[in-house]
Chains A and B, each alone.
Chain A
Amino acid sequence: MDHIDRKIISASQAGLPLTPEPYQTLAEQIDISVNELMQRLTDMQEQGIIRRIGAIPNHYKLGYQHNGMTVWDINDAHIDELGKKVGALGFVSHCYHRPRHLPDWPYNLFAMIHGKTAEAAERQIQQIADLLGEYCRAHEVLYSTRILKKTGLRIKNNVPS
Chain B
Amino acid sequence: MLTILHKQLLNDYQQDFPLSPTPYLDIANSLGITEEEVLVAFSALSEQDFISRIGPIIQPNQLGISTLVAMAIPEKHISEVAEVISQFPEVNHNYEREHHFNLWFVLIAHDQQHLTHVIKQIEKQTNFKTMQLPLLKDYFINLGFQLNLEPQEENFPINA
Contacts and interface: CB of A to CB of B under 8 A. Distances in A.
Contacts of A142: 97-99, 101, 104
Dominant SS among interface residues on chain A:
mixed
B15 A153 contact: no
Nearest to B135: A96
A95 interface: yes
B142 to A, nearest CB: 7
B67 to A, nearest CB: 9
Contact of A90 (B35, B50, B109, B142): B142
17 contacts: A18-B24, A18-B54, A21-B21, A44-B56, A51-B59, A55-B51, A58-B49, A87-B138, A92-B140, A98-B133, A99-B133, A99-B134, A101-B132, A105-B131, A110-B68, A148-B105, A159-B63
Contact of B131 (A6, A15, A83, A104): A104
Nearest to A89: B142
B114 A158 contact: yes
A20 B18 CA distance: 12
A32 B63 CA distance: 21
Given A52-B143, A54-B17, A55-B13, A150 B92 contact: yes
Interface of B: 9-10, 13-17, 19-25, 35, 39, 42-43, 45-46, 48-59, 62-64, 68, 70, 82, 85-86, 89-99, 101, 103-105, 108-110, 114, 131-149, 151-152, 155-156
Contacts of A93: 140, 142, 145
Q: Which of B54, B109, B149 has the most CB of A within 10 A?
A: B54
Contacts of B131: 101, 104-105
B137 A38 contact: no
Interface in A48-81: 48-59, 61-63, 69, 80
Interface of A: 1, 6, 9, 12-16, 18-24, 34, 38, 41-42, 44-45, 48-59, 61-63, 69, 80, 83-84, 86-88, 90-99, 101, 104-105, 110, 114, 116, 140, 142-155, 157-160
Contacts of B56: 9, 12, 41, 44-45, 50-53
B53 A155 contact: no
A95 B138 contact: yes
Q: Which of B56, B98, B136 has the most CB of A within 10 A?
A: B56
Contacts of A52: 14-16, 56-57, 143-144
Nearest to A147: B95
Contacts of B49: 58, 61
A41 B57 CA distance: 11
Contact of B97 (A9, A83, A95, A143): A143
Given A49-B62, A56-B54, A149 B105 contact: yes
Given A18-B42, A87-B141, A148-B96, A55 B54 contact: yes
Contacts of B15: 52-54
